[in-house]
Amino acid sequence: MPVVDADAHVDETDETWEYLPKGYERYKPFTVVEAAEGQAMTPRGYNRFWCIDGTFWLRRNRDDERTGTVVETRELLDIDARLRHMDELGIDIQVCYPTLFLWTPSEKPEVEYALTYAYNRWMGAKWAESNNRLRWVAMLPMFSPDKAIEEMRWAREHGACAIYRKGVEAGLRSASDPYFFPIYKEAEALDMAVCFHTGVGSSQWSNTKVTHLSPWFGSLVPIDAFLSLVIGEIPDKFPKLRWGFIEAMSSWIPYALADLQARDERPTTSTGPFNFTLDVFKEGQFFVACQTVEDLPYILQRTGDGCLVAGTDYTHADQSAEIQTLNIIRTMGDEGYITADQARKIREDNAVKLYAL
């Protein structure tokens, strides 16, 4: 099976917004640079922004050495260069997530639709150049459900293998809210995974403010989504649907299982009874992206071998980024830290199943 980078990223660029739908050109993002780096803003890199409908969102200045990438590969300016770099890293397929949309640049339906439409067309065009090696996760206009369905269908035909969800979004709705059921139903029909990546589901929280870089609205929301789906018994409603929880590490799994077990044994009036099993990850088709700094033998004891995937966080430079992730996991298998079979499943089988590659 192919080696799959289950969590790579792209950095949007000016070309992304050339795909805006006709009549929505007034929402085209443009770049604003506040001052020479190091003069006005801290920390480093917080001086370049996308201006979107009168608000500002970071357009990061990346460090080539820290990320292990270059602008041509980060912004998909040179698809051949990106593929060559994947070859050097021993990666056959990357599943690409956005950068800007990890936040919520607008909750105005018309702006959200314009931006997601453009992003999807840009990624579809880049996929077409990649010989099917750059797969991607579709962005949906969640405030326009009918248009969201249209976007899913278009994206599926143009290289998308999943849809992007924030754990709480579209007016702070939880993952189990019936509002999303038509989207889940369509994803199931299209054989697309629903993936909860870390991210902020409210435009009131901006990545231009360091004080807003809180795990409450970032890495913790996929955990909220998982608990919400299990307690709401949503997998029972969509039995063929696969769910991903991406870039929130996997060390939360023992906590979540203990929480669910306690709720099952001592149900409250707020949640009521629900079906709980320690095999919830297998039975619910839940997949979780792990990181190389974690106690993977312990996590695997709780999940079994069939649910962990791994990604490089390609282009990014936060605590989740490790460009050699897939090679490190292979070494873990070679040296017996985990079994060779477990390493192979994390690098290959599980991601192939999650994304239906």
Q: How many CB atoms lie within 10 A of CB 268?
A: 8
Residue 275 inside a domain? The answer is yes
Asked if the model's pLDDT at residue 64 lies above 70, the reply is: yes
Residue 50 inside a domain? The answer is no
Nearby residues of 76 by Cβ (< 8 Å), 6 or more positions away: 10, 13, 82, 126, 134
- pLDDT (tens digit per residue) in 94-152: 999 999 999 999 999 999 999 999 999 999 999 999 999 999 999 999 999 999 999 99
Longest pairwise C-alpha distance within the chain? 58
Helix H or strand E encompassing 116: helix 109-129
The conformation of residue 12, written as its DSSP 8-state character, comes to -
3-state secondary structure of 145: helix
Q: In whole angstroms, what separates CA 31 from the centre of its chain? A: 24
CATH number for the domain including 243?
3.20.20.140
Residue 53 inside a domain? The answer is no
Give the pLDDT confidence score for residue 156 in this predicted structure: 98
Place of tokens 């997601």: 116
Contact (Cβ atoms closer than 8 angstroms) between residue 221 and residue 198: yes
Across the chain, what does the average pLDDT equal? Answer: 93
Give the pLDDT confidence score for residue 207 in this predicted structure: 76
Residue 156 inside a domain? The answer is yes
pTM of the complete model: 0.94
3-state secondary structure of 338: coil
Residue 34 inside a domain? The answer is no
- pLDDT (tens digit per residue) in 80-110: 999 999 999 999 999 999 999 999 999 999 9
Asked if the model's pLDDT at residue 40 lies above 60, the reply is: no
Q: In whole angstroms, what separates CA 193 from the centre of its chain? A: 11
- pLDDT (tens digit per residue) in 289-346: 999 999 999 999 999 999 999 999 999 988 889 999 999 999 999 999 999 999 999 9
Domain count, the chain: 1
CA 310-292-332 angle, 5° bins: 95
Residue 307 inside a domain? The answer is yes
Q: Which domain holds residue 242?
A: 4-25+65-355
Residue 304 inside a domain? The answer is yes
Phi-psi region at 54: left, alpha or beta (left = phi > 0; alpha = psi -120 to 50)? left
- pLDDT (tens digit per residue) in 240-270: 999 999 999 999 999 999 999 988 888 776 6
Residue 290 inside a domain? The answer is yes
